[in-house]
Each structure stands twice: as C-alpha cells, then as structure tokens.
C-alpha cells in the first residue's frame, strides 16, 4: 500500500521544455490514508444529502400542492390550489429562516423547505453547501464536498472535478486533485446506484450541425452573455442593500404572486429543462421561463435565499436558447436549427456566463446528455457568452449557491 501511494508523488518529465516537471513531495502514508478516509466519508454524506434532498423536495412539493405522499417528479404547475399557492412559498421561506436563525446546522432543511414550497432554486446547493460543516482541513474537505454534491446530483464526475478546479482554489488544485477526484466519483457512483446509469437529461439523437448552423448557434451565446451580465449585476445590486431575514420572505411573496399567475416558474424547473431538451415546448412556457423566472431568480439570489442556482439557470438558459433559435430561424430560414441542441447550447452558455465556469459548462453539457455532436456549438457559444459577460462585469460572479442566513 505504501508503494502504491508513493506512485502519486513520482517526478515525471515536463510536457514542454519551458515547463518544470512535477516535483516529488513526500507525504506520510498514514496522513494520505487518513485524508482518503475523511474525504470518502464526506463524499458519501454529501451524496446522500444530494439524493435525499431532491427526494425530500419532491415529497414536500407533492404533499403541499397535490396532497400526494410520493416522491414522483411532478411539477407544481398542475396544482389546483386557490390563493393558497401564494402563501406556500412565503410560509416555507419564513419557516426556513426561523430554523436557520435558531439552529444554523439545519440550513439544509431550510433549503428543502424553500424549494419544496415553490422557490425557484435547486437542491444541488444544499448538498454542495453541506461540506461547510467539515471542521478540520476545511479547505480540502469543502472542495471535495462540492465536487461530491455536484456529481451526486447530476451524475457528472468530470464536470465536478473541473468545476472545483476552475472556480474554487485553483492554485491548490494540483495538490488535492486525487482527493477531489475520489469525492466526485463517489458522488457519481451513488447517483448511478439510485437513478441508474442513463444520462441526467435524455435528448433525441443529434447530428453534427453544418458550419452555417454552428454560426447561428454561436449567436445564442451573445444572448446568454448579455443575460448573464444583467443577472449578475442585478444580484449584486440587490445584495448591496437586501440584508436581514425580511428580504427572503419578501422575495418569496413575489414568487408566490408570480407563481399564482404563471405556475411554471415554481420550483427548480428540472422537468421543464428535460422537456425543452427534447424539443417539447410552448411559446408561453418559453416566455415565462426566459422573462418571469429570469427576473425572479435575480430577486431570490439577491436576497440570499438558501438553495442552488444551477438548476434554475439550466431551465432559463434552455428557454433563451430555443427562443433565440426561433428568431434566428425566421431570419435565416435556409439554415435549419435543432430546438434540442439550441436548448442545450442556451443552458450551457448561460451557466458559463453567470458562473464564469467556461470549461465546466461545456463538459457538463456533454456529460449530462452524452451528446458529443454538440461539441462545436457548445464550444463557440459558451466562449462568446463567457467573453461578453466577463467584459460587462465589474466584480466577481455570485457563488454557485447562496450562503445561509445568520
């Protein structure tokens, strides 16, 4: 075992003459095994929180909106409630705020209540934040927990590793890549044990687009880049004054009112993202997600309501992608565009623009769909979105999940 562990610290040849070779760094085998054990335990915990949080969100949503004690994936849009639907998000956020103010360690439950009652955030933030209770070796375990939670939610270990490498602790990544990889693959394994080995989003079989079509898909990156900059700017402006527990409740009231008139904006929107990636959309759904939900997510993230922003970004980006493709198709009728590929490009490009995770967005889109034919539209659109949003931003993008209220 000691010899095997030393293999990870051997000195190799430089990949180019201008780069140094990786230097040997002696680490006692006892410390390596101790950290492997801690990372493994944390990865399993974060993965269970990810899967359990998603199931608990579904249970709460089904009970409150349909009086159905099941964990089936059913969107709140089909509910038959009256004005009670306006009160549910407010009650959920208020209860979550009280829990966190009294017992900070219950912040994951606060996120479950928020999302289960209709707040348009994702449960992935619950698992990715769970590692903040790791204690000793906090930096290493924090990054490993984020990777495990992301991989457990989406079944994308490579994207999880790149996400941590690209967005968190970049200068330390070479020393902890083994631990992070372990956490990511443990998370992906638990995801597959529960959900199966199929991709997170199932798309119709895509074909490689023509050069002209790739150019039009690239223009979707312009749209998502502008929306990314607006979203980040709006969140930053609201956070500059929206401090305290009252603001999340106010944002929940806005969600309840909007959801009463457009119930498709309620919840994390994972069902609608799957529908759009299959090309099954209506114009009213596209408008609701790309306009109403877009404005609401700015308000919700700005008020630091607990939950993840990745899933809502995917639904908004998919809607923006298809809407942009429809307009481009009208302007260039001779170049056919695939709505499924447009949705995929839109969701990845918005992810890249908002989080600044350019490579992560591309790898994530490919890994969660298993559709390699979209590589070139994804590459160009995500690059354009990343450049435009970065050029328009003055400060760093918001974190992947809102921190809990104190």
CA proximity to 117, closest of 295, 302, 273, 300: 300
The CATH number of 211-402 is 1.10.3080.10
185-234 residue pLDDT tens: 999 999 999 998 999 999 988 889 999 999 999 999 999 999 999 999 99
- Tokens representing 43 are 């990865």
**What's the angle, vertex CA 123, arms to CA 152 and CA 297, rounded to 5?**
135
Phi, psi of 402 (to 5 degrees): -70, 140
231-261 residue pLDDT tens: 999 999 999 998 888 999 999 999 999 988 8
Alpha helices in 278-374 (DSSP H): 283-287, 294-302, 310-331, 339-355, 358-367
Residue 400: what pLDDT?
46
pLDDT of 96 over the 80 cut: yes
Q: Please give the C-alpha separations between residue 48 and each of 92, 204, 257, in angstroms, as whole numbers.
A: 23, 30, 33
Q: Are the C-beta atoms of 170 and 203 separated by less than 8 Å?
A: no
pLDDT of 71 over the 80 cut: yes
What is residue 122's three-state secondary structure? strand
Q: Is the dihedral of CA 267, 287, 382, 297 positive or negative?
A: negative
| Domain extents in the chain | 2-195, 211-402
**Half-sphere exposure of 376 toward its Cβ, with a 13 Å CA cutoff?**
12
From 86-90, 119-123, 167-171, the region with the lowest mean pLDDT: 167-171
């Amino acid at each position: 075992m000691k010899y095997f562990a030393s293999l990870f610290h051997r000195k190799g040849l430089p990949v180019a003459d201008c780069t140094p070779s990786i230097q040997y760094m002696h680490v006692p085998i006892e410390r390596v095994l101790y950290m492997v054990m801690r990372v493994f335990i944390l990865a399993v915990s974060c993965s269970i929180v990810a899967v359990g949080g998603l199931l608990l969100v579904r249970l709460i949503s089904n009970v409150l909106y349909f009086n159905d004690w099941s964990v089936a994936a059913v969107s709140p849009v089909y509910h038959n409630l009256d004005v009670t639907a306006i009160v549910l998000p407010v009650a959920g956020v208020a209860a979550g705020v009280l829990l966190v103010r009294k017992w900070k360690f219950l912040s994951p439950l606060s996120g479950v209540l928020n999302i289960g009652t209709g707040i348009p955030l994702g449960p992935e933030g619950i698992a990715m934040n769970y590692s903040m209770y790791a204690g000793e070796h906090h930096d290493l375990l924090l990054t490993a927990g984020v990777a495990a939670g992301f991989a457990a939610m989406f079944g994308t270990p490579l994207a999880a590793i790149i996400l941590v490498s690209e967005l968190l602790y970049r200068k330390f990544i070479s020393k902890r890549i083994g631990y992070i990889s372990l956490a990511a693959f443990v998370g992906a394994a638990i995801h597959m044990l529960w959900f199966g080995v199929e991709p997170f989003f199932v798309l119709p079989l895509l074909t490689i687009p023509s050069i002209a079509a790739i150019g039009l898909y690239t223009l979707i990156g312009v749209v998502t880049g502008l929306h990314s900059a607006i979203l980040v700017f709006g969140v930053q402006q609201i956070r500059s004054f929206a401090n305290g527990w009252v603001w999340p409740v106010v944002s929940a009231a806005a969600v309840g009112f909007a959801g009463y008139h457009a119930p498709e904006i309620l919840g994390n929107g994972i069902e609608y993202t799957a529908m759009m990636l299959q090309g099954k959309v209506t114009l009213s759904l596209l408008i609701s997600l790309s306009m109403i939900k877009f404005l609401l997510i700015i308000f919700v993230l700005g008020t630091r309501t607990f939950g993840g922003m990745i899933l809502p970004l995917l639904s908004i980006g998919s809607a923006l992608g298809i809407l942009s493709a429809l307009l481009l198709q009208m302007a260039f009728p001779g170049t056919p565009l695939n709505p499924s590929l447009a949705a995929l490009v839109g969701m990845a490009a918005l992810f890249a623009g908002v989080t600044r995770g350019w490579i992560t967005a591309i790898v994530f889109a490919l890994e969660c769909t298993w559709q390699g034919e979209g590589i070139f539209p994804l590459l160009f659109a995500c690059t354009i979105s990343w450049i435009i949003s970065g050029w328009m931003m003055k400060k760093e993008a918001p974190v992947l999940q809102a921190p809990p209220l104190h």
